[in-house]
Structure 1
């Protein structure tokens, strides 16, 4: 556990802080909702179809047939006999599956899937108690125990109920589930809040979900309650925790008030959901102390505690953080849900600040740490995502704690939420994903059509079609990986400086000078229908090294091209990957492999390998063709050895 420092604070007056209400006091970026974005992308559209056609049905089957999650709701409603099945937080998996189903319905309407959603919602509504409470575990095992143990996920389940309800309302206009969720929150607010009982959520999630309900209903009670829950943290109010190590409440980020947080601690997923909620609340309250704290914690995560894949949480013992620069590879925990949380949090930070560095991390987590959690076939999953394997890791059909399958499903299905943003005078292009959308600006609507072969190629074509000629700024993110080496405090850097000209920009075929603001390339002009912007990003193969403090990566390097981190697998190297050496002079070249792993760009070069001598007594060094594949695609050809960080010298080889 990272070291903690004692502190004293003044009690916060929730009512005064929230009097700002309703207006974003910071960058004022508004994301374009997934429901307003049509994705045509050659990389992402097949994956979204796979989620709709394979992953969502897998989630339905596991939720409804192979486990007792839906049966628990039926038992509460009195339509089925029996005792509670599963784990006390299993209701949340029903809600996350529903959320993924809702996103899928919007991008691919399906009457049968919608009917299944309605069937589940009817069962959920039938399980709600008269006072609004809904939780199958306590209803079936003893309502007298409810709200006695802050670690038992009643609030976490409620948060996922609200997120599913908002998603389904946005997708279909139906509000039955939303009404169920609101009744549950009103039940909570009758018990907890200023002048009532204290409550510290053991597993954060409700805070960000309440903001989503506020955005849909414009009912400020939900924003106020979210802010109150955040302000409960760090004052010693936590109690009733059932596991053994809650003397150190850093596990659930309860050691300091949110506004005084300076470093990342504890459980990685809980931290991401907490900080997402804090950023959301800051956006509407104008609380600058939250923004300052989030920026400070973000620096601690990205500069000292994040894997090159954008994964976080190195320790399996607490599913989270240990100490700075402790980033083991084979033992990396890197829960899929934590990478999904990194996408959530960094999107919110971009909205608050208008800075592209947050989207750079979002993109890294999305394409590597999160996407790795889902198999190419869409029916197998990783819970943890190591950066090295001796061949013992494999993708599973499901988990006892099944948060990750539905979490990665809902992220991919809602990808449209992360591509574009706007303010009244500007359109922001954050991700390079083939898509179409229409955005309302102060002077009128503007249609944007994006075409690209990203992440394999760096050409992005944007066709701009305003409903009438108008002036505005088109702001296109220049990715961090396309800007050369980062500053001195960076956790990772490139061994070589690469090309001097990473990007070229054209408007209607005419070359433009690059004008940067907060990491965005700015094209400001009077736009007409059919105007075309072309951004061409160089995609050299980069060797990445870590700071000396990361002892596990000493004298090792990783390969990156564009946003993708690469790895080597034993299946491509006579069954072994840990015996490979890549001296600095090895030249790698990209090669498109249409029939490999669904179509990937591999990186190939001639390195060395340590192999046994013919007599089997000694070892010898031989030349070895090395072929690296994108990290997200590993372990789709069976369990085998894998490495992200490759030895640069013989002495670093460690044969498992």
Structure 2
């Protein structure tokens, strides 16, 4: 039954593509075509399936999120959670569970999802409107909702945000299961949205973007032009509202908070709420690809360059400023108050993948990989049920103004990050491969089996590796019949002496190492195009391609424009950024110096943090002798762990950027000392 449904979906998708005059030059290989055997991601997907998704659904039940739908269906009761966008936590978890069903068939889970979809359908009003914060009691809606539909959409209500996550969930559920029960609900709502908004109708730019991305996905399923047109309308509506104070520097008053300060086609800098922004930029890439709009393409290219050159943290985090969860000014990347919302890293993955599909350049996958392996999975604990909303860059015991939480939480009143993680993690198979004509891109290094069509015939690729711990990659390529085509293997920027595709961060050392590639045991010469090693040949069944990436420990330094990181160094090995944590370093981490002559050794510790490669070196550590009233430095063995794994052993100090030498000593009074996170 599943195969027949997926075949039907594939046929719909194929006919839609034929009807579309324009699309991304590069096409993703669907997540259903990639089966993982990987030791890094597959266990995380199993934890997501067995722990995170059930915990998320359970919390949606216990916090009243499910009850809101039940009361909306009965038109009786009182909205019982905090925010009008709490509906989306159910949508996002359904989306994640749908992806997960394609990896781990689970009849019990599938039945439960159907029961939730039934409740969602019953809560939908006859004309398609779906928003429990109003439908429960239209006379007394949520304070953020406004007295009538849509009147507070720009700033507070999140009505279209709810719709967007509904569409995203419906798309995933339809592709994973072949069922239309959630899709039909989404289409009914989308038809209402398209009838209300547009030229000659209601004009508003959605306050929290994602409806644009969702409408594009519904367009891809149905081929209905109105969905694409409305997505484009929402993008082009930005910058038209006359009620802002253009002279104000307050992003809430000038529209910048929700990227509404000027037309998108004229925007060149990432501003405002980082999650909203990256969702918008993802949609701009979608619409630019599907319409050929050169102005939108120029805008999204320029904004991406602004982020990567001036507004991204070394571990891929986006959104430096806690007030408004937003981007700061250019080069404003403080460590003590770094925000780095988990949802922003997730949105960054969506955006960067679309940029890759637009341009076929590995630099976008380099940034995606940085986010994925560092600032994104740092947001979920190794237990699968504890989370960070914000992802700190440092935790110091003695700073009373420490802004970020030093320990994970099981849930949040605004629980967008936990439920967003449930949908991103099982979708990772869809980012591994892509195609352009007879060129096959290998983007991520994840062990598993994939099947795709080249020249209309199936080609199987089997990846075997121990990435990200080891750089030895093996690909067994097996076309059904001997065939000539190109395999484009990404040579990561970090393996080409590029810390990030800009001069924002650079490696202080640049060894002249070339990535070696062999086929069937014989070394081969290759050309590099846009960061990809191009292997063009006639492939036969069982050809073995081997790629050996250097896994040296690298020292990262920041541009002189990033004031907070001057005289400091960060550590990177492969795609992973490292940090020092209190648990490995005698209860401290903020007292470690890493001078230029420090040499780190990598060692895999299978029993630590579910198995991690640690970095160790003897370096100066600052010691305070309170009795003798002295401060000294002593060389001690220091251990660094992957950044994503911190805060799984209790709370305490953590550092990403380390001073190279002592320049000054700050004297802290006893009254200022306290546990991190206490305010």
Give the shorter-chain TM-score range. Answer: over 0.9
TM-aligned CA deviation for residue 141 of structure 1: 4.0
Say which of 425, 438, 457 aligns to 2:438.
425
1:51 corresponds to: 48
For structure 2, list consecutive stretches of 5 or more residues without a partner in the other structure. Answer: 1-17, 140-146, 398-404, 674-679
Measure, in 1, the Cα distance between the counterparts of 2:663 and 2:448.
Answer: 48
CA shift digits 1:110-141 (9 cap, x unpaired): 11100110000000000010111010001124
- The answer as to whether partners of 1:647 and 1:653 remain within 8 angstroms in 2 is no
Measure, in 1, the Cα distance between the counterparts of 2:217 and 2:563.
Answer: 42
Measure, in 2, the Cα distance between the counterparts of 1:599 and 1:226.
Answer: 44
Deviates more, 1:89-98 or 1:435-444: 435-444
2:159 corresponds to: 154
1:173 corresponds to: 178
CA shift digits 1:189-208 (9 cap, x unpaired): 11111211102100000001
CA shift digits 1:228-287 (9 cap, x unpaired): 1111111126789xxx96322000001121221110100000000000011011111111
Say which of 27, 30, 47 aligns to 2:27.
30
Measure, in 2, the Cα distance between the counterparts of 1:134 and 1:30.
Answer: 33
Measure, in 2, the Cα distance between the counterparts of 1:487 and 1:176.
Answer: 43
- The answer as to whether partners of 2:516 and 2:548 remain within 8 angstroms in 1 is yes
Say which of 269, 278, 281 aligns to 2:275.
269
DSSP 3-state at the match of 1:398: coil
DSSP 3-state at the match of 1:269: helix
2:451 corresponds to: 438
Measure, in 2, the Cα distance between the counterparts of 1:265 and 1:652.
Answer: 35
Measure, in 2, the Cα distance between the counterparts of 1:35 and 1:485.
Answer: 33
TM-aligned CA deviation for residue 353 of structure 1: 0.4
1:210 corresponds to: 215
Say which of 524, 547, 572 aligns to 2:559.
547
- The answer as to whether partners of 1:198 and 1:237 remain within 8 angstroms in 2 is no
Say which of 225, 231, 236 aligns to 1:226.
231
Is 1:462 aligned to residue 460 of structure 2?
no
- The answer as to whether partners of 1:505 and 1:533 remain within 8 angstroms in 2 is yes
Measure, in 2, the Cα distance between the counterparts of 1:415 and 1:229.
Answer: 28
Q: Scaled by the length of structure 2, what TM-score is found?
A: 0.90
Say which of 74, 99, 102 aligns to 1:106.
102
- The answer as to whether partners of 1:99 and 1:410 remain within 8 angstroms in 2 is yes
> What is the aligned-residue RMSD (CA, Å)?
1.8
Say which of 60, 64, 69 aligns to 1:68.
64
2:12 corresponds to: none
2:11 corresponds to: none
Measure, in 1, the Cα distance between the counterparts of 2:640 and 2:84.
Answer: 42
For structure 1, list consecutive stretches of 5 or more residues without a partner in the other structure. Answer: 1-19
Measure, in 2, the Cα distance between the counterparts of 1:450 and 1:286.
Answer: 35
TM-aligned CA deviation for residue 410 of structure 1: 1.0
DSSP 3-state at the match of 1:247: helix
Measure, in 2, the Cα distance between the counterparts of 1:487 and 1:94.
Answer: 36
Measure, in 1, the Cα distance between the counterparts of 2:549 and 2:317.
Answer: 25
Q: Scaled by the length of structure 1, what TM-score is found?
A: 0.94
1:495 corresponds to: 508
- The answer as to whether partners of 2:171 and 2:183 remain within 8 angstroms in 1 is yes
Aligned 1:167-206 pairs, distance under 5 A: 167-206=172-211
CA shift digits 1:129-180 (9 cap, x unpaired): 0111010001124275211112210000000000111111111111111111
Measure, in 2, the Cα distance between the counterparts of 1:502 and 1:559.
Answer: 21
Measure, in 1, the Cα distance between the counterparts of 2:624 and 2:306.
Answer: 44
- The answer as to whether partners of 1:199 and 1:238 remain within 8 angstroms in 2 is no
Q: 1:23 and 1:356, CA in 2 relative to 1: closer, same or farther beyond 3 A?
A: farther
Say which of 557, 573, 579 aligns to 2:585.
573
Measure, in 2, the Cα distance between the counterparts of 1:502 and 1:510.
Answer: 16
- The answer as to whether partners of 2:216 and 2:231 remain within 8 angstroms in 1 is yes
Measure, in 1, the Cα distance between the counterparts of 2:419 and 2:502.
Answer: 36
Say which of 382, 391, 400 aligns to 2:413.
400
